[in-house]
Chain A
Amino acid sequence: MAANNKSKIKSNKATFLERIHIDGFLLFSLMSLMVVGLLTIYSSGGQEQELVNRQLVRLGLAVGVMIGLAQVPIMFYRRIAIYAYSLGVFMLIAVLLFGDIGKGAQRWLDLGFIRFQPSEIMKLAVPLMLAMFISRKTLPPNFGNIAIGFALVFVPTILIAKQPDLGTSLLVASSGIFVLFLAGMSWRLIGFIGALGVTFAPIMWFFLMKEYQKQRVITFLNPESDPLGSGYHIIQSKIAIGSGGVEGKGWLQGTQSQLEFLPERHTDFIFAVFSEEFGLIGVFGLLIMYMCIILRGLHIANRAQDAFSKLLAGSITLTFFVYVFVNMGMVSGLLPVVGVPLPLISYGGTSMVTLLAGFGILMSISTQRRLLSRAT
């Protein structure tokens, strides 16, 4: 009602979207990617309407969660951060002890009425916790707090990695580390930690990594060594992408995907389907759309009014980028294969809800700024 009143001055003008705390630009970008995703799922899933319908339901649910979370004032998130984090760690331990095994990994917790992956909670709980913890003190944080911060990151990371779920643990770790980075962790420390990581990589290889994870790295380094076994995914994926050429084979015309040579084609490897059918031009457009979201997210973070919001928004945005980069990197043979879906495009439920929940928080930060400043 007020949104239609043009006589009001600009600062007081609240559009309908603003009134329901939705960032219009972000919503439009997200929706556009979802449409691209549905089209690609339709093509890769053997043109089955059923698959698209189920994805539509999930998207609807996820968008609902996003809108719902956008309504929540940012102070609330700050307040629940420590509880969410503690509950998450508790459930991760429970999963390791009592969890259901699905696809060879213990990821699911069955509470009788609902089954879910606690690791998904940590994707949001870790940045919440870190942002809350770091923003309690002035920025940049001192060494002690950084050390505690790292500890807060690595406890859930290791718990998730033990399930084992390398993809999620990677995302959780990066979401926490991004908070520390954005908070202004000194470059010397970044360099030192980098060096430490390089030193510990061999230790990881020999003591922490499971056989199948090692195999993935070997396959990544030389996929042709086992073209019918573990290298099959990546070879078929590269053939799909490469044969797409500049212009692509056209929607529904990708032979690699339509004839089922490409495995996991509507989930983790959907980017290969997209690249095959829409070519380099399509890929370029897709990257622009992702960049729009990332830049918008960083913009929201930058203009947020308090450190907690800034760090949280920045972390959510950069983690979103990690999703995109890791997925595209693994599908196109730049990175080893870790189970990370292409955000907003890949078919799948749980991670979509978590992802859009993150964007809900981002929208809350974006749109409740004014309310918050009034309250301050």
Chain B
Amino acid sequence: MAKQRQTIRDHTAEANLFTSRALISVVVVTSFMLLILGNLYDLQVRQFEDYQTRSNGNRIKLLPVAPNRGLVYDRNGTILAENRPVFSLEIIPEEVSDLEATLVALGELMTLTDSEIKRFQKERKRQRRFKPVALRSQLTHDDVALFSANQHRFPGVTIEARLSRFYPFRDTLTHMLGYVSKINKRDLEKLQDSGQEANYAATHDIGKQGVEKYHEKILHGQVGYQQVEVNSQGRIIRVLDFQPPTPGSDIVLNIDIELQKKAQEELAGRPGAIVITDTRDGGVLALYSSPSYDPNLFVHGISQKNYSALLNSRRSPLLNRTTQGRYPPASTIKPHLALLGLEEEIIDEKTKIRDRGVYKLRNVAHRWRDWKKGGHGIVDVTKSVEISCDTFYYDLAYRLGIDRIHESMTMFGFGEYSGIDLHEESAANLPSRGWKRARFNEPWYIGDTISVGIGQGYWNATPLQIAQSINTLVNKGVRYTPRLLKGYLVEDQVIDEPVIMKEPVVVKNEKNWDVVLDSLYGTVNREHGTAYRAFRKTEYISAGKTGTAQLFTVAQDAEYEEENVAKELRDNAMYVGYAPYDAPEISIAVTIENAGGGSANAAPLARNVMDFYFSQKKGIVASSHIEQVKTDVQNRTIEAISGGE
């Protein structure tokens, strides 16, 4: 049938028709092929660079590598903050054939808690199978040893080490050294604002307090990068390039850890502060705030329970009393006011008053009492410091007026930040008319000035400010900014930071310094001096001033009886001093809260610390030399007294 039909068809016409359609097809096919080629040309030639960039963007990743944090040493090379490896047990799920069995076996080895396993399982589900997941984050040395011995049984389970901060002296350096802790949201925002975010891309911890915070930039270092090729799941195929991180600088502090430990030992947990500085350059040798706590608690995240215990303690252990504690400076500022009186020629070396134990002003009903009932009798400026006569200073302050006091005491650093390399600092308060107006919207009364005359009333200061002010006296007006940072450790060589000077206190009459310093000498070395008993028979000559700060206003007709006053309202004991007298090296400021009188409670403690300091360097200062100096000074004093009379 097919054959029959074919015979009547015009085969040539059909063939020609087909040929023409086939030719059209060839043209169409060719043009479509050219279209494909044109598109490929567009992608592979014209847009080549764009796609090459995107292809590299796909496969090349920069992995930040955290720099090692700089170490912190004391002035003698003792390490104060170090990096210790912490070990964590990690599992790479992909490499473990039977995860359940592995967990059971590990549990037999080191008893895993339910919460550890739970956290691990949760984390595992969120991670790619080839990424390690931590099972236990802080292994004990026993765990490490135990696992290492059994490692062959656990393919896919590894121990990873990470460096973490450790403070070997624990609560001895807490407030001053501070601590590092995990970078939180607020830290991150600050890093973003300062453009430091990239530098911290791999960093775990950041300085939160103290030196760790203040010198964060120096200690942190510069982030490094690993350029790696990754596949679409983020698995690292190979490392293409490595730019190592620059570790943070190792720093040396002015702190003498032995002195710091001595300060801690002397305060013995009583709330208070000890500041020891080098009078020659402002270097801070010891800065101890009591009570303290162990900063290592914060490094790995403090528990809520421990934290609220610290936060809510009535003894405020979180407060850095040395720089944030605001105490009335009390009698410790008498020498400064004496200097001001001499300078302003309101008094001179010979000015004497008769102290009957009470100070009165004409037409004022209020009586200002001296600490000594019945008064000190005839008192000149030198004796006023030595015996700490209040009446002398009531009168001096009255005659100076608050404006002159404010101006002068500001020059000594009161009411201002000391500039120490710590962020935790208070400027405390040196009152003025303007301050009182702004604060209470009240005028300044004469009575306010009279309280200021004995370092009470609205006046308060930090122990560091007090230490700084005595240094200014010792250095006859030359002022150094107190510094913790001594220098950098570069290849076992300490490169010292320059000493920072402040605007000096300038006097009209240089002799006035000697009068004031001599009164400090007398406080310690003359029998009537308030610190004489505490410093008897020292092997060095020191000078200083005691202070007893009233926290409780005694009623006009009542007596202060220690037993009748609540513990937290009892007097603060204070002492500020320096040594050796003829060639000053160190100064010390001691504040003990609610301990009572300064000469009985603070001065002996200061002596113990100074004894310790000089016993450490006994070999250097020969005792015969001390005797020589002692006689020299005695002679000079006798001259001064006889000359005066």
Chain A residues engaging chain B, CB cutoff 8 angstroms: 78, 136, 138-140, 181-184, 236, 238-246, 255-256, 258-261, 275, 279-280, 283-284, 287, 290-291, 294-295, 298, 301-302, 306-307, 310-311, 314, 318, 321, 325, 328-329, 332-334, 376
Contacts and interface: CB of A to CB of B under 8 A. Distances in A.
Interface centre among B10, B29, B35, B237 (most CB of A within 10 A): B29
B18 A242 contact: no
Nearest to A238: B43
Contacts of B58: 236, 239, 255-256, 259, 261
Interface in B536-592: none
22 contacts: A182-B22, A184-B17, A236-B58, A241-B43, A242-B43, A242-B50, A243-B51, A255-B55, A255-B229, A256-B55, A259-B58, A259-B229, A260-B232, A280-B40, A280-B44, A291-B29, A291-B33, A302-B18, A307-B9, A314-B22, A333-B43, A334-B36
Nearest to B44: A280
Contacts of B242: none
Contacts of B51: 238-239, 241-243
B43 to A, nearest CB: 4
B55 A287 contact: no
Given A242-B48, A283-B40, A255 B59 contact: yes
A129 to B, nearest CB: 16
A242 B54 CA distance: 9
A332 B47 contact: no
B30 A182 contact: no
Contacts of B231: 258-261
Contacts of A318: 25, 29
Of all A-B residue pairs in the complex, the 10 with the closest CB atoms, nearest first, are A242-B51, A243-B55, A259-B231, A242-B43, A260-B232, A243-B51, A184-B17, A280-B44, A139-B14, A261-B232
A283 B42 CA distance: 13
A302 B44 contact: no
B22 A306 contact: no
Contacts of B633: none
Contact of A287 (B19, B37, B59, B229): B37
A181 B32 contact: no
Given A136-B5, A329-B36, A334-B36, 13 more contacts: A140-B17, A239-B51, A239-B58, A242-B43, A243-B51, A243-B52, A246-B45, A256-B58, A259-B59, A260-B232, A261-B232, A280-B40, A302-B19
Contact of B36 (A239, A256, A301, A332): A332
A279 B44 contact: yes
B111 interface: no
B230 interface: yes
* Majority SS at the chain A contact face: helix
Contacts of B47: 242
B21 interface: yes
A297 to B, nearest CB: 10
Interface in B191-243: 229-233, 237
B6 interface: yes
A35 to B, nearest CB: 21
A291 B30 contact: yes
A334 B40 CA distance: 10
Interface in B1-23: 2-3, 5-6, 9-10, 13-15, 17-19, 21-22
A245 B51 CA distance: 9
Contact of A184 (B18, B44, B237): B18
B78 interface: no
Contacts of B41: 280
Interface string B38-70: 011101110110111011101100000000000
Contacts of B5: 136
B44 A246 contact: yes
A246 B43 CA distance: 10
Contact of B45 (A140, A245, A376): A245
Contacts of A182: 18, 21-22, 25
A307 B55 CA distance: 51
Contacts of B15: 310
Contacts of A307: 9, 14, 18
Contacts of B22: 182, 298, 301-302, 314
B48 to A, nearest CB: 5
Nearest to A236: B58
B568 to A, nearest CB: 63
Contacts of B43: 238, 241-242, 332-333
B37 A283 contact: yes
A333 B38 CA distance: 12
Contacts of A310: 15, 18
B44 A284 contact: no
B54 A239 contact: yes
Nearest to A235: B54
Given A259-B231, A275-B40, A283-B37, A245 B48 contact: yes
Given A241-B40, A302-B19, A334-B36, A259 B50 contact: no
B36 A376 contact: no
B313 to A, nearest CB: 52
A246 B13 CA distance: 47
A68 B253 CA distance: 91
B378 interface: no
B26 interface: yes
A168 to B, nearest CB: 20
Contacts of B2: 78
Contacts of B232: 259-261
Nearest to B14: A139
Contacts of B19: 302
Contacts of B14: 138-139, 307
B166 to A, nearest CB: 41
Contacts of A258: 231
A192 to B, nearest CB: 18
Given A255-B59, A280-B40, A332-B39, A314 B18 contact: yes
Contact of B25 (A275, A287, A314): A314
Contacts of B32: 321, 325
A242 B36 contact: no
Nearest to A308: B2
A325 B56 CA distance: 29
Contacts of B50: 242
Contacts of B230: 259
Contacts of A246: 44-45, 48
Nearest to A237: B43
Contact of A280 (B13, B33, B45): B45
A365 to B, nearest CB: 13
Nearest to A325: B32
A235 B118 CA distance: 39
Interface centre among B2, B22, B47 (most CB of A within 10 A): B22
A318 B37 CA distance: 18
A243 B2 CA distance: 57
Contacts of A294: 29
Nearest to A375: B3
A184 B13 CA distance: 11
Given A241-B43, A242-B47, A279-B44, A325 B52 contact: no
A311 B25 CA distance: 13
Contact of B233 (A238, A260, A295): A260
Contacts of B13: 139
A78 B47 CA distance: 50
Given A246-B45, A290-B33, A301 B40 contact: no
Nearest to A328: B36
Interface centre among A181, A242, A298 (most CB of B within 10 A): A242
Given A240-B55, A256-B55, A259-B237, A334 B35 contact: yes
Contacts of A283: 37, 40, 44
B10 A138 contact: yes
A246 to B, nearest CB: 6
A325 B36 contact: yes
Contacts of A139: 13-14, 17-18
B77 to A, nearest CB: 51
A77 B189 CA distance: 77
